[in-house]
Amino acid sequence: MTRFRLPTWFVLLLPAIIVLVAVVLIPLVLSLYSSFTPYRLTRPESLYKWIGTFNYEKAVKSAHFWAAFGRTVLLLTIALNLEMLMGLGLALLVNRVTYGQRALRTLMMFPMMFSPVLVGFQFKFIFNDNVGLVNNALQSLGLTDVAIPWLVDGKLAFMSILAAEMWSSTSVFAILILAGLFAVPRDPIEAAKVDGCTPWQSFRHITLPYIMPFIYIALAIRSLDVARAYDIVQIMTNGGPARRTELLWTMIGRTGYVDAKMGYANAMGYISIFLAIFFTIYFFRKLNAARTELGMAG
Amino acid sequence: MNENLIHRLKGHVLKVLHLFALFIAMSIICIPGLWVVLNSFRPTVEIMAKPPVWIPNDLSLDHYRAMFGAAGEGGVPVLQYFTNSLIISLTSTIIAILVGMAGGYAFARFKFRGKAGIFIGIMITRAVPGVSLSLPLFIVMAKTGLIDTHLGLILVYIALNVPFTIWLIDGFFRQVPVDLAEAAEIDGCTRWQAFWKVEFPVARAGIASAGIFAFLTSWNEYALASQLTRSTFSKTMPVGLRDFTSEFTINWGGMCALAVLMIIPALILTFIVQKHLISGLTFGGVKG
Amino acid sequence: MGKTKFSTLLGATAFVAIGGSAFAGEFDGVLIQAKLIGGQQYEALYSRIAEWEAETGAKVEIISKKNHFELDKEFKSDLAAGTLGWCVGSNHSSFASQYPNLYTDLMPYLPAGFIDEYVPSNVEASKIGDALVMLPRAQFDVSVLYYLKSAYADADNQAAYKAETGRDLAPPDTWDEYKAQAIFFTDAPNFYGTQYAGKDEAIVGRYYEMVIAEGGQLFNDDWSPAFNSDAGKSALAWFVDLYQAGAVPPGTTSYLWDDLGQGFASGTIALNLDWPGWAGFFNGEDTSKAAGDVGVIVQPQGSAGIRTGWSGHHGFSVTEKCDNKKAAASLVAWLTNEDSQILESSGGSLPTRTAVWEHVSEAAKSDPFRAEAIAAFKEGASHSFPAPQTPYWIEATNLIYPELQAAILGDKTIDDALADAAEAVDEMMQENGVY
């Protein structure tokens, strides 16, 4: 009796695949189907009416949708880049510390303990124009005597959201890059020092290539995860005022749950998933390139 | 002599600059957080005062007392939420790490067809926004009777964290030169032993950080939890935060008090676990 | 002593006779699953559930306790997944029309005449078509005008206002006067004339009542949008003018009820149209800097001589799929009966039963502020009207509010904003097959 043996790699991957199929894939198929129907939560029977690509056409034709789409891309790009740079800086700062580093690392991860819901409320109060921390501080220090409408002015609201998002997520970059910094071999750096390289040169040519994979891992993970900013934005501005901070996620959430138009919301959701796929594949390519450079390609 | 002095001076200046930058960075990180902690001890009038009260003159445990008090007087079933959160987060983290280790190892050490495709496929599951996933997931869970159970949320959080842990652990496994494991195998270890003796210790840093991330993600997750939980039987702490909001009001001080209870265990756990970040790395084999 | 006992007994019998639903052991072994609104303000009433359980032998299991917006999401998910095995749910008059098939008509389960004890307008607002889908609890909301008395008592203010406008400075009775005074009082950024809810359903509700007060309508009888009219424009102009004049905090378009309540309690807002639940908060030493300085009068009227009065109330409903509707209806009736409403309104909320209104007025007599507030709310309630009773009300508000905000912030002109909003609502109604 010959026994068919599954390849080892497949056995190893099987648990992951099973759980992902059950929790993500099956619901996704369901929502893909519903995006071709006029599905309203409050009228379950509408799930059985096929309307083809109507929802997609409606989304593609909607100026509000594309505005939100563009704004989401902008927020993603700016947030990810700034978080990466600041995370790198933070990791380098902490890495130089020799005494009390363990406590400092924990402190560095402090914002990660804050649930995004909480961050939303927290920054909503911090940026409140009347009794908020920021305006109070600015007014008490005599830097301004007007109440700055942080959450209302288009640019300021965008910046406030960005600030909240960065506060909550820069730590993720910092800790991953720090882990990468620990993995950097000491010998080449010592050798470079002996050879008379400046710290910048040895950072640029030895350390950086070594931590590049970690940076890309962090970038990709964050780009996938940035949808979590939904909680923050939903509470801080809920896309308002006058759609000035509307992101795809707030738009989809409102359409799906408040308006109960789940079919349409899922269609928008699917278009926006392509955005995430694009970012993921982009960073994945970068990651592989960085690995090839280090001779770790698989 | 002179050059030496300049060199030393430069060193001092750099050191001061470094400490200054570190201080600024840490302040930015800590102040918004500590503000929450401080608010949990202040009466709401003082938090919302205008002109602002900078030096707190009325610190009390009132918000905490109210939170542990009876329902209807501001009481919230904190202990129940806490237990739910702990059970759900710990279980899902441990399982996600095991599943992720297996997966990460497969990607780092095996060559097979369609690898890149499968890898991206797994990662993309993470890209699905919670808002679009929550309703279909709810329907599936409702059909299988998993609504308002610990198991339901545990499953969801495993799925949420697996792509993430696979990716992270994969990256760390790749850092272990293949020769090392092969050398161990030549020395008479089985692949299994080689894994635990050689590769696991090196990847421990990756596993520890993946573990922290997975735990914090589960501990803080709100969008899906709010959809899949109903009663105090399974509600987690982030969902519990919403108990402090009602149609017309937000009890911000009370919310801060619950937030502090959320932060403390996460902080302690992070502090304990993160020492493995280094210990795995002291292994000399990493050095090229 | 004997007398008290007698009257209690009489009360109980009267209830059994009228309520007809609480016979001892009537529902032995019945389990009622309930999804109730949570929060300090609402939960005091739930202590009465134990009494009902003891009386009828049934058992109540609260399977979900969330705030209203979360509950709304949960109900919609339940409808979608078909998980409707539960019986009793908290409901709100502004949300109820969204789920017309979820809840059953309570009329067949109530004894004749039972419903007559509620305030008729509240009963009207509890219906979808002819079906009574909920019984109102003592959580009725209509907004009246809160103001800072010191702003009016100030002699300088009085003289300056007289010089400026030729009118005496007194709490306003028209929205035009209100606007003029709000602009007059403003001393930004430390003191503002007024503020208003600036987003979500809240601003559309405020706009809606202003349109009515200006003599207009939000919707025509066929539910096509009617607000792109002169009344609609002058209503929106009120919001725009106040914002452009800087008489409201610049962040007002990001404010919801909580921000407004905290704002007035900080003592930096002169005039504030707000809900009954805040009265105690505004005048409480521990909670408000304006304590002792708060006046309450009926809400002003618009140019059409109609007072604003967008109102809503909480209630309890019984699902269509419930196994034991009779028991569920008995619980709902119990939670909204006279004793329950007396208990609940003692926390400061407004009742929806005629007799309890009198009880509340009587109880407030010893406290001048409370008496003033109750009088204002009683009059305010007489001018009240519910949110438009269409399943698409919430969806319409989501289309309208960004346009209102755009006009307020100056991104669009009033004409453009209303035209865009009307077009979007029209399209939505047609898509939903309303006409």
Domain CATH code at residue B143: 1.10.3720.10
Structure tokens at A152: 């209302």
State how beta strands C135-142 and C310-318 pair.
Answer: antiparallel
User: Looking at the domain assignment, is residue B73 inside a domain?
Assistant: no
pTM over cut 0.80: yes
A-interface mutation test, from B131, B235, B243, most A Cβ less than 10 A away: B131
Residues A157 and A122: their CA atoms lie apart, in Å, by: 15
Q: How many domains does chain B have?
A: 2
Residue labelled with tokens 């005629």: C354
Report residue B175 as tokens.
């850092």
Cβ contacts (< 8 Å) between A42 and chain C: which residues? 76, 79, 98-102, 391
Tokens 């090229």: give the residue. Answer: B288
Give the closest-approach CA distance of C78 to chain A in angstroms: 9
Cβ-based contacts of A246 with chain C (< 8 Å) = 402
Residues of each domain in chain C carrying CATH 3.40.190.10 = 2-141+312-374, 144-308+392-431
Contact A106 B274 (CB under 8 A): yes
Instruction: Find chain C residues with C-beta within 8 A of A151's C-beta.
Output: 251, 254
In a domain, A204, yes or no: yes
DSSP track, C274-316: E-GGGHHHHT-TTT-TTTT-EEEEPPPB-TTS-B--EEEEEEE
Q: Do C258 and B226 touch (CB under 8 A)?
A: no
Domain boundary residue, one of B19, B37, B68? B68
Taking an 8 Å cut-off on Cβ atoms, the answer to whether B129 and A273 are in contact is yes
- Return the half-sphere exposure (C-beta side, CA atoms, 13 A cut-off) of residue C84: 21
Q: Closest approach of chain A CAs to the CA of B185, in angstroms?
A: 17
Is residue B51 reached through a cis peptide bond, with omega within 30 degrees of 0 on the bond before it?
Answer: yes
Co-location of B220 and B241 in the same domain: yes
Cβ–Cβ of B132/A265 closer than 8 Å? yes
The residue out of B21, B44, B68 marking a domain boundary is: B68
For tokens 């209806």, name the residue: C329
Residue A241: is the preceding peptide bond cis (ω within 30°)?
A: yes
CA distance C221 to C214: 18
Considering the domain boundaries, does residue B156 fall inside one? yes
Average pLDDT over residues A50-74: 90
- Residues in C closer than 8 angstroms to A147, CB to CB, are 188-189, 249-251
Sequence letter at residue A122? Q
Decide if B222 touches A, using CB distance below 8 A: yes
Sole residue written with tokens 């399977």: C63
Which range has highest mean pLDDT (A28-37, A277-286, C141-150, C390-399)?
A: C141-150
Q: Considering its fold, how many domains does chain A have in total?
A: 1
Q: Which of B180, B174, B217 is nearest to B198 (CA)?
A: B180
Give the C-alpha separation, C227 to B16, whole Å: 65
State the pLDDT at residue A239: 82
Contacts of residue A130 in chain C, CB cutoff 8 Å? 189, 249, 251, 259, 263, 266, 268
Q: State how far the Cα of C393 lies from the Cα of C287, in Å rounded to an integer.
A: 34
Q: Which domain holds residue B216?
A: 78-286
Residue A260 confidence (pLDDT) above 80: yes
Strand C59-66 to C31-37 pairing: parallel
Question: Where is pLDDT greater, at B94 or A130?
Answer: B94
Domain that holds residue A142: 63-258
Indicate the SS3 state at residue C140. Answer: strand
Q: Is residue A165 part of a domain?
A: yes
Cβ contacts (< 8 Å) between C100 and chain A: which residues?
A: 42
H-assigned helices in A97-207: 101-108, 116-126, 133-140, 154-183, 187-194, 199-202
Chain B residues closer than 8 Å to C42 by CB: 246
Res B198 pLDDT > 50: yes
Mean local confidence (pLDDT), B248-262: 87
C-alpha–C-alpha distance, residues B14 and B22, integer Å: 12
Residue B225: how many other CB atoms lie within 10 Å: 28
Instruction: Identify the helix (H) or strand (E) that includes residue C59.
Output: strand C59-66
In order of A88, A179, A238, B178, B191, the CA distances from B181 in angstroms are 32, 22, 52, 6, 8
pLDDT in tens, B87-125: 999 999 999 999 999 998 898 888 888 888 888 888 888
Distance CA(B238)–CA(B81), nearest Å, equals 9
The answer, for C380 touching chain B at a CB cutoff of 8 Å, is no
C-alpha to C-alpha distance for B244 and B258, rounded to whole angstroms: 9
Regarding whether B135 and B278 lie in a shared domain, the answer is yes
DSSP summary character for residue B244: G
Give the separation between CA B165 and CA C435, rounded to whole angstroms. Answer: 53
Interface contact C246, partner A, CB < 8 A = no
Q: For residues C41 and C90, is the Cβ–Cβ distance under 8 A?
A: no
Distance of alpha carbon B105 from alpha carbon B128, whole angstroms: 24
Res C22: pLDDT? 53
Closest CA to C289 of B54, B57, B47: B47
Q: Enter the tokens of residue A159.
A: 């910046």
Q: Is the pLDDT of residue B277 over 70?
A: no
Look up residue B149 and give its DSSP letter: S
pLDDT at residue B132 above 80? no
What is the phi-psi region of residue A37: left when phi exceeds 0, alpha when psi lies from -120 to 50, beta otherwise?
A: beta
If DSSP codes are grouped into helix, strand and coil, which group holds residue C138? strand
pLDDT at C126: 93
| Percent of the residues in chain A that have a pLDDT greater than 90, as a whole number | 18
* pLDDT, position A228: 65
Residues whose CB is less than 8 angstroms from the CB of residue C240 and which lie 6 or more positions away in sequence, other chains included: C407, C408, C410, C414
pLDDT over 90 percentage in chain B? 25
Q: Residues B59, B140: one domain?
A: no
- Residue C206 is predicted with a pLDDT of 96
CA B67 to centroid of chain Cα atoms: 25
Interface touch C289/B49, C-beta < 8 Å: yes
What is the rounded CA–CA span in Å between residue A143 and residue A150? 15
Residue B9 included in any domain? yes
Q: Does domain C2-141+312-374 have CATH number 3.40.190.10?
A: yes
Separation between Cα atoms, residue C269 and residue C260, nearest integer Å:
9
Please report how many Cα atoms fall inside a 13 Å half-sphere around the Cα of residue A43, on the Cβ side: 16
The CATH number of residue A234's host domain is 1.10.3720.10
C192: nearest CA partner in chain A: A130
Range with the largest mean pLDDT of A164-168, A248-252, B166-170, B282-286: A164-168
Q: What are phi and psi of A146, to 5 degrees?
A: -110, 155
Could you tell me the end-to-end alpha-carbon distance of chain B, in angstroms, rounded to an integer?
Answer: 38
Which residue of chain C comes nearest to B229, CA vs CA? C64
What average pLDDT does the segment A247-266 reach?
A: 87
Tell me what percent of chain C is helix, strand and coil, each rounded to the nearest 5: 50, 15, 35
B154 and B46 inside one domain: no
Spatial CB neighbours of C210, under 8 Å, sequence gap ≥ 6:
C175, C235, C236, C238, C239, C302, C308
Q: Which residues of A94-123 are buried (b: 16+ CB within 10 A; e: fewer)?
A: bbeeeeeeeeebbbbbbbbbbbbbbbbbbb
Positions in chain C whose pLDDT score sits under 70: 1-24
What does the alpha-carbon distance between residue A182 and residue C363 come to, in Å, rounded to a whole number?
71
pLDDT by residue (tens digit) across B18-68? 899 999 999 999 999 999 999 999 887 788 777 777 888 778 888 888 888
Distance separating the N- and C-terminal Cα atoms of chain A = 35
Model pLDDT, residue C158: 93
Per-residue burial over C333-358, b = 16 or more CB atoms within 10 Å of its CB, e = otherwise: bbbbbbebbbebbebbbbbbbeebbe
For residue B286, pLDDT beyond 70: no
B32 and B115 share one domain: no
* pLDDT of B71 above 70: no
Q: CA nearest A255 in C: which residue?
A: C395
Does B252 reside within a domain? Answer: yes
Q: Which residues of B67-77 are buried (b: 16+ CB within 10 A; e: fewer)?
A: beeeebebbbb
CATH H-level superfamily of C144-308+392-431? Periplasmic binding protein-like II (3.40.190.10)
Instruction: Note whether residue B115 is domain-resident.
Output: yes
Going by pLDDT thresholds of 50, 70 and 90, the confidence category of residue B1 is low
Of B45, B74, B148, which is closest to C287 when you measure between CB atoms?
B45
pLDDT at A174 over 50: yes
Taking alpha carbons only, the member of A180, A179, A206, A212 closest to residue A193 is A206
Judge whether A161 lies within some domain: yes
β-partners of residue C136 are C315
Query: What span, in angstroms and rounded, lies between the C-alpha atoms of C194 and C269?
Result: 6
CB–CB of B222 and A231 under 8 A?
yes
Burial environment of residue C143 by CB neighbours within 10 A (0 to 12, 13 to 18, 19 or more): buried
- Sequence-distant (6+) residues with CB within 8 A of A4 are none
Q: C105 with C334: CB under 8 angstroms?
A: no
Residue A151 is predicted with a pLDDT of 87
The pair of structure tokens assigned to B271 is 């502090």
Distance separating alpha carbons of residues A265 and A255, to the nearest angstrom: 6
